Amino acid sequence: MFEYGGRHRIVAWGVLFPEESQPGVDLILPDFSYLEDRLDQVDAIVLTHGHEDHIGALPFLLRQRADIPLYGSRLTLAFVEAKLREARIKPVAHVVTEGERLTIGPFDLEFLAVNHSIPDALAVAIRTPAGLVLHTGDFKMDQLPLDGRVTDLNGFARLGDEGVDLFLVDSTNAEVPGFIPSEREISPVLDKVFDRARGRVIVASFASHVHRIQQIIDAAAEHGRKVAFVGRSMVRNMGVARDLGYLTIPGGVLVSVDALDDLPDDEVVLVCTGSQGEPMAVLSRIANNDHQIKAGPDDTIVLASSLIPGNENAVNRVINGLTRSGAAVVHKGNALVHVSGHCSAGELLYAYNIVKPRNVMPVHGEWRHLRANAALAERTGVPRDRIVVAEDGVVVDLKDGVARIVGAVPVGYVFVDGASVGDITEAALTDRRVLGNEGFISIFAAVDITGGKVVAGPEIEARGFHEDPEVLKPVHDEVRKELERALADGVVDAHQLQQRIRRVVGRWVSQTHRRRPMIIPVVVEA
């Protein structure tokens, strides 16, 4: 978020996807509580491209104020509008193109073409009296892109000559040496995969990677196969891309999923979601044998993606599940079926040398990526004290040509759990992890406060802790003795009695079984 003169402008508004340590969470939204009483000061949201991690949270923000103007390229806004249509929100959208320059409030914006794993991606230069900021968005430098739209290095150089006061640079692949191969290099690999396939070919890809889908369609047409899209987001996005002319499908190649039943397997290509092991995506459900499409020994399955950090286990489970079915699984680990959409270290060095920024702020990456990007900037001559590595909520001030960290605002994660938005806390996630990993033990007892006696129980039950109920018998007497001891000491409060039970059981479980289950004691007065 950029602020000048009390006005705000946002670049991207995306989501994170949950990790295994966040059970039950569907999406993670940016915490916009800081903005809640400032929404009337937001002049625009600029969208660099149409990936979920840059547009996915828009429905949740626009529910608060639907008339915030959105600025983005033609395809980006088309993806956004389709998403918002499902949320019954009609956005105020403005299409911009590379080379265009416009003024929004105190911000002078200029858009530049960049190459990424989705068409129509943009970088944005922001001019204010405080200085010139260049935000790359997600980008790489494919010199032979399928659509012929290369990253505008001439524009980067021109802005560098003008003087870039702060350079915000994509850090995703800052640890990767060298240069990213061209997207075109995937076509020969796909051709070999299709040539060797005996039965169906099932390809999982990002639902917005139009260039990748185009190569799959071209390979299918070359080998006389029909293509069907599977998965809601895949069907929606490819329909949009085709209607706008970004995706070319020869006549007769695209069919519905239902039509595949009438075709021999060696004439079928399925393009589906689930390349990151998302549990409810099509490929994950096929791997779990929980989908109408069943994988078999004659199938060839292609995961045309690279691993997003944190998704490794989920993707490996999918690969193992598909392999168990007998299918041949092709992935980045054994074939060049994916190239990244982000600059590697060699390309980033070119960017720094072309722009020659006064200050640098690495963005879009985990801490190790941000640090690696900062090191690259320093190697090209940017002084260490002019490189800002910041985390969420940190406030960076650009004044007199110097960027400095000047404070922070409280931010966190907003978890989406089914229909619930923001109701799930870190404490609740901790409870879920404990329940999932350690199980729980419940203890029920009734006491006579007046007589100082235990009149019923304790009854002890466990779930997810140990299969044999006999295991809990040794602690039964300890709980009863502790209750009698507490009553004799004059403890009459049910909560205090429950706390005593929790300590006794917790200590016993820890010492005896080296486990930490959730312990739920209930004491009632008879």
What was the pLDDT predicted at 420?
59
70-84, 335-349, 417-431, 508-522: range with lowest mean pLDDT: 417-431
Q: Tens digit of pLDDT for each residue in 105-120?
A: 999 999 999 999 999 9
CA distance 363 to 370: 7
The topology (CATH level 3) of 183-330 is: Rossmann fold (3.40.50)
Among candidate residues 23, 75, 85, the one with its CA nearest the CA of residue 54? 75
How many C-beta neighbours within 10 Å does residue 175 have? 17
Q: Which two tokens stand for residue 305?
A: 């993606």
Average pLDDT of the chain, as a whole number: 88
90-104, 209-223, 401-415: range with lowest mean pLDDT: 401-415
| Domain range 439-525, CATH class | alpha beta
Going from N- to C-terminal start, the domains of the chain cover: 2-179+340-421, 183-330, 439-525
How many C-beta neighbours within 10 Å does residue 462 have? 19
The topology (CATH level 3) of 2-179+340-421 is: Metallo-beta-lactamase; Chain A (3.60.15)
What was the pLDDT predicted at 41?
93
> How would you label 293-310 residue by residue, b for 16+ Cβ within 10 Å and e otherwise?
bebeeebbbbbbbbbeeb
Judge whether residue 235 has pLDDT over 80: yes
Task: Please report the beta strands in 296-432, taking only residues with DSSP state E, as ranges in sequence order.
Answer: 300-303, 328-330, 360-363, 394-399, 402-408, 413-417, 420-421
CA distance 460 to 481: 14
What was the pLDDT predicted at 433?
66
CA distance 159 to 306: 32
Q: In what order do the strands lie in the sheet with 413-417?
A: 27-30, 413-417, 420-421
Residue range 46-70: average pLDDT? 93
Q: Tens digit of pLDDT for each residue in 261-279?
A: 889 999 999 999 888 877 7
Q: The whole model's pTM is what? A: 0.82
